[in-house]
């Protein structure tokens, strides 16, 4: 069965461009993003890996470690790394797992046989410090991901893990948020003074610090 929200993210040990990677040890107490690529030396993947390398400081600010994965071998990954830098101007600065035997891809359900029997789809798993799956995304090979959206989602996941709030459609860091329905009006007055009632079930407040 496919991994679902709240499931334990499977642990693994695998070769990577930064040496042998022990996934749980590598994540430590951080948040994590594990994202797969259909294959090495492919155009969309090249742009994606360069983009994530360019955004690394944004992931760092969010205490989030990124790990890429492709079902090719380490020597291909190493050669491809140079192409990624040549094309995007960004040097790979996070581990890229060499999952040649597809052990990790199988654990995470990254191969979707109706899309391809051999290549992974573009999966994204956001993993919390408790090693539970907090978000999954699946894109087809021909559609590159928007990594600003992944940063935005991490902002929401981290905020809503800490406060009794939810984030509305298209929410961005710093914008008003929604008080969850589990919070009574009395508790809301205490926790979120000055909140606005739009409908009895939709109460808005400033983003908690």
Say if CB 192 and CB 179 are below 8 A apart.
Answer: yes
Contacting ligand BEZ (CB under 6 A), which of 34, 45, 105, 150?
45
DSSP per-residue letters across 41-69: S-HHHHHHHHHHHHTHHHHHHTTEEEEEE
Q: Minimum distance from CB of 138 to ligand BEZ (Å)?
A: 14
Binding segment for ligand BEZ (CB under 6 A), chosen from 43-51, 56-64, 78-86, 101-109, is 43-51
143 near ligand BEZ (CB under 6 A): no
Binding segment for ligand BEZ (CB under 6 A), chosen from 41-49, 72-80, 84-92, 98-106, is 41-49
Contacting ligand BEZ (CB under 6 A), which of 38, 50, 68, 128?
38
45 is catalytic: yes
Contacting ligand BEZ (CB under 6 A), which of 141, 159, 166, 188?
141
Q: How many CA atoms lie within 13 A of 29 on its CB side?
A: 0
117 near ligand BEZ (CB under 6 A): no
Point out the catalytic residue in the list 45, 71, 96, 177: 45
Binding residues for ligand BEZ, how many (CB under 6 A)? 9
Residue 162, classified by CB atoms within 10 Å of its CB into exposed (0-12), middle (13-18) or buried (19+), is exposed
Which two structure tokens, joined as six digits, stand for 18? 């930064």
CA distances to 6, 15, 18, 127, 180 from 171, rounded to whole Å, are 23, 37, 35, 21, 15
Interactions with ligand BEZ, residue window 118-137 (CB under 6 A): 119
Closer CB to ligand BEZ, residue 66 or residue 178? Answer: 66
Nearest CA to 206 among 167, 149, 170? 167
SS3 1: coil
Contacting ligand BEZ (CB under 6 A), which of 13, 18, 44, 103?
44
- Strand order of the β-sheet with 122-127 is 96-98, 64-70, 31-37, 122-127, 133-139
**Interacting residues toward ligand BEZ by CB under 6 A:** 38-39, 42-45, 119, 141-142
* Active site residue ranges: 45
């Amino acid at each position: 069965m496919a991994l679902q929200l709240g499931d334990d993210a499977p642990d693994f040990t695998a070769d990577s461009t930064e040496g042998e990677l022990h996934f749980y040890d590598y994540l430590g107490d951080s948040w994590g993003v594990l994202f797969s690529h259909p294959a090495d030396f492919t155009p969309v993947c090249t742009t994606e890996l360069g983009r994530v390398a360019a955004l690394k400081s944004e992931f760092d600010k969010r205490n989030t470690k990124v790990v890429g994965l492709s079902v090719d071998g380490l020597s291909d990954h190493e050669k491809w790394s140079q192409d990624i830098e040549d094309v995007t101007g960004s040097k790979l600065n996070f581990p890229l797992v060499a999952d040649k035997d597809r052990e990790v891809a199988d654990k995470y359900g990254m191969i979707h046989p109706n899309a391809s029997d051999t290549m992974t789809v573009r999966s994204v798993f956001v993993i919390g410090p408790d090693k539970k799956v907090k978000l999954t995304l699946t894109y087809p090979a021909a559609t590159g991901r928007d990594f600003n959206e992944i940063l935005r989602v991490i902002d929401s996941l981290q905020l809503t893990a800490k406060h009794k709030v939810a984030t509305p459609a298209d929410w961005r860091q710093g914008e008003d948020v929604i008080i969850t329905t589990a919070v009574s009006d009395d508790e809301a007055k205490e926790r979120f003074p000055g909140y606005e009632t739009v409908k009895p079930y939709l109460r808005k407040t400033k983003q908690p610090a």
